[in-house]
A and B are shown apart, each in its own frame.
Chain A
């Protein structure tokens, strides 16, 4: 045990003293916050230019009221839609469409909206860029209003302001949790995304730190001296625990700064200054604790795999090629996390967040959105820690064989064969 402690201490002290640690401690949260702010900014400031639109009205008479319904403005005051022209019952629909299509392709026009002669048929929006969903809602609302207005007018009912009548209600979302209610202005999503990015970045970062640390001992041939004094298991465990200590230190620094910023924000709000960004940084302690537990679970799971990769390789290039084995599940988590973000209580989300390789990121994400049942948390933690045991057992075998092997990078079947060595 004494030797294990010496290994842990050396690993911890030499890492915490480096410039890399200081930089990492400052840079990683900045990247996380920056990335979150960027997403929020992009969502709120998308399409700064108004959409140049032509209305082709096959029904006749609807175009002016549709255009009147498209008067919304963007936050900076520019009109969201610019109705360039409206064509009432074109003589040749095909010729008109050819013309409009050419304009869209030349860039003179962004889209044209075609109202059918029979309003039970779908309204068509022809555009080069069909992905802009936020515009679709406004367009269909404008068409709805125009149709309702025409229908009412045809029956002799005059309404001054149809828009007021058919306006959809503003829906304010208020998050209910055990601690009370809070008005949702996107801070839950912000915290959730920040959490995902932070967990992913730190798991990857510490995994790679562990891998490079093993690799350094191999490439510098320090390994031979070390394993003539300690067992490979002591060395592996010491390395992983030492780096875990570094990660824990970093988390403490981050949590303390977060708490300071949060209380600063609260103080500012109390004084009437009100700093919305700072008060949005308020993260419940239960979520922090959950993130911490899953981070360390994920760290032990991934870093032991990264350590095995480091041990199996003899140089940086080989390691860069082989590290996908450890990285793949983590990267895949980033591909699927939006499934959980969209619907944290769905069956898919529940199953994904129970799978040990995804749980370290996805379960804290679920917790940040809504509190999952206790049994799901208990099950995922149990599965995670059982898997950690199994993965460390396998990694230690690969590690023990790998640290003495120099030369050609092993193939995956060779690594599997190493697992069977006694």
Chain B
């Protein structure tokens, strides 16, 4: 069953892992998702971004066939979304929790079997994963007896046990210490290298910049930005300068500077469209400050996020 991923031989590159076309979903009077289009190619690591309440969870739930869209269509690996298509997806929801009084290993086996594994196979894989995450000695303990970080690792195991070709991870690192976060990250990279498609929904932009090759930014139920991360950044151009200096900061009142973000050691100045960074450098030199560093930067994903969501 779990080998299905490999059997989609016809144009593995041509069939999108997930395709949403003009998807709309409303609750009572609120429109949660409105006309969203999204294509996730197989093997991509996509960052699904958006402020709280933007419609990310609703979108994920529609892909998981938990909710049905009011309009539009959703395809998973080229087939319309269905109860069967869900077995090709591993899902780690943001609101986590599993039966608190079940023993860890039987819990993992139960959920693995629900995703189509035989119990023997699920049990074999459960042992492997528990050992890998250093939870082997906890496997006969109840969920409630585990620390939050351990519970999170167990939940992660349940979402990938059936080796799904697509994994949707909603805030997978929240509440994890750096060691555990790094373990999870390694597993994600490993899955990517094996050809899995990963959708990472998170508010932590630095993780997206490190891990994702493409992004989709949703705001107020609409997708406002989507595509390859590198291309998006390049389209913004190098409109930010990082300056470290000693002396008066009066030169920062220059008309070409749109906004300033101060750090301990320096400032990041965002320029108005069409402004020349050299003008800032001249103004700084003329004002007599000592410049230690002057660097042109691409906008950070965080800046793009704020710009796209604040003015939308």
Contacts and interface: CB of A to CB of B under 8 A. Distances in A.
Nearest to B87: A229
B113 interface: yes
B99 A220 contact: yes
B93 A225 contact: yes
B83 interface: yes
Interface string A219-242: 011101111111100000000000
A228 B86 contact: yes
B187 interface: no
Contacts of A72: none
A343 B201 CA distance: 67
A231 B83 contact: yes
B225 interface: no
A404 B66 contact: yes
A220 B96 CA distance: 8
Interface residues of A, number: 19
Contact of A404 (B67, B111, B114): B67
A6 B113 contact: yes
Contact of B115 (A10, A222, A224, A229): A229
Nearest to A231: B83
A229 B96 contact: no
B91 interface: yes
Given A228-B66, A231-B83, A222 B114 contact: no
Contacts of B66: 224, 227-228, 404
Nearest to A403: B66
A251 to B, nearest CB: 25
B260 interface: no
Interface in A353-401: none
Contacts of A14: 99, 101-102
B294 interface: no
B97 A222 contact: yes
Q: Bin the interface of chain B by size.
A: 20 to 34
Contact of A220 (B67, B98, B158): B98
A3 interface: yes
B288 interface: no
A221 B91 contact: no
B93 A228 contact: yes
Contact of B91 (A7, A10, A225): A225
B175 interface: no
B110 interface: yes
B80 interface: no
Nearest to B89: A228
A225 B98 contact: yes
B93 A221 contact: yes
B28 to A, nearest CB: 9
B193 interface: no
B110 A6 contact: yes
Given A231-B83, A404-B67, A220 B100 contact: yes
Contacts of A225: 91, 93, 98, 111, 155, 158-159
B113 A222 contact: no
B64 interface: yes
Interface in A187-245: 216-217, 220-222, 224-231
B98 A224 contact: no
B114 A224 contact: no
A10 B110 contact: yes
Given A216-B99, A220-B100, A225-B91, 7 more contacts: A14-B102, A228-B66, A228-B89, A228-B93, A229-B115, A230-B83, A404-B61
11 contacts: A6-B110, A6-B113, A14-B101, A14-B102, A217-B99, A220-B100, A222-B97, A224-B66, A228-B66, A228-B93, A404-B67
Interface of A: 3, 6-7, 10, 14, 216-217, 220-222, 224-231, 404
